[in-house]
Amino acid sequence: MSNWVTYDGGRSIGKTGAAGDLILYDEEHNLGARITLKRGKTFISVSCNFYGWMDHTRFFNTLSEAEREYRSMKTAIVGMMESLKLASSNKLKGWEAISEFVRRFP
């Protein structure tokens, strides 16, 4: 997982998003993905962006649950992004990899 770096040099951490949520963690992978953990007034969320493919957001009741899932998702994202890279000429295989990720992390 060493290919994860803090997104935008960490400038997004502590910023407020459009929904009034506070960005707590924000990382980017060199294979083309971003994962962000945000705390709002009534929610905690983890959002993933698979560049050129889609966004996926999950909501949690507690920060500890969201942090645990954030770490789990980071590991799974690397495998999925490697599959997407291999599937670049076969969009169906790419969507299959994304579907499996979303099933695992609803």
Q: What is the mean pLDDT of residues 46-75?
A: 96
Give the pLDDT confidence score for residue 82 in this predicted structure: 87
Q: Considering only CA atoms, which of 66, 39, 68, 34 is closest in space to residue 52? A: 34
- Domain locations in the chain? 4-104
What pLDDT digit, counting tens, does each position of 8-52 carry? Answer: 999 999 999 888 899 999 999 999 999 999 999 999 999 999 998
* Global confidence as pTM: 0.92
What pLDDT digit, counting tens, does each position of 75-99 carry? Answer: 999 998 888 888 777 888 889 999 9
DSSP-assigned letter for residue 41: S
Give the pLDDT confidence score for residue 84 in this predicted structure: 82
The total of other beta-carbon atoms located within 10 Å of residue 95's CB is 14
